[in-house]
Amino acid sequence: MGYKTKILGTGSYLPPKTLSNLDIEKLVETSDAWITERTGIKVRHLAQEGEGSSDLALKAAQNALKAAKVSPEEIEAIFFATTTPDTNLPNSACQLQTKLGSGTCVAWDLNAACSGFLYVLSIANHYIKLGTFSKILVVGAETLTRFINYKDRETCILFDAMAQEHLY
């Protein structure tokens, strides 16, 4: 285990369309103060119509690659944590791989909800330490707002669309 893991760059992306607590007040019996006190959330970001998790991830990945000064062709693996894949087949990692132009690198999804990103981060760390890969794109992206019941006060206050990347 002579290889060391380090983060070469990070990137993120939030869709511009938002839904505030004041907007949610109009949908369910709640208040900005109640939501903020329980969640700390003031605004949620909503994916545009037709915008999938791999689209959000693409923008964040491009930012991470730029920060890391790494080209898409140098990526040896993409580990994508999402509970909201664009489609079942091909997986979101493969869709991102194509959109990025990463060639034939390893690309797979992990569905583990909130902890998924931590799992893929840990797995990437192990692959780097073993020397299996030298550059891995770790992705976490969600478009949960597509599935939210905006009449359910308990869940509609929590979720949004986002993407974050780390390049090892």
- pLDDT band, very low/low/confident/very high, at 157 (cuts 50, 70, 90): confident
Which of 34-48, 50-64, 69-83, 123-137 is predicted with the least confidence, judged by mean pLDDT? 34-48
- Higher-confidence residue: 13 or 161? 13
Tokens 């689209």 sit on residue: 55
- Higher-confidence residue: 128 or 164? 128
pTM strictly above 0.85: yes
- Higher-confidence residue: 31 or 1? 31
What's the CA gap between 12 and 163, in Å, rounded? 6
Output the pLDDT for position 161.
56
What's the CA gap between 157 and 18, in Å, rounded? 13
- pLDDT band, very low/low/confident/very high, at 155 (cuts 50, 70, 90): confident
Output the pLDDT for position 152.
85
Tokens 């869940």 sit on residue: 155
Residue 23 CB partners (closer than 8 Å, separation 6+): none
What is the amino acid identity at position 20? Answer: S
- pLDDT band, very low/low/confident/very high, at 147 (cuts 50, 70, 90): confident
Output the pLDDT for position 164.
63
Which domains, ranges and CATH numbers included, belong to the chain?
9-167 (3.40.47.10)
Instruction: Please determine, for residue 1, whether its predicted confidence score (pLDDT) is greater than 60.
Output: no
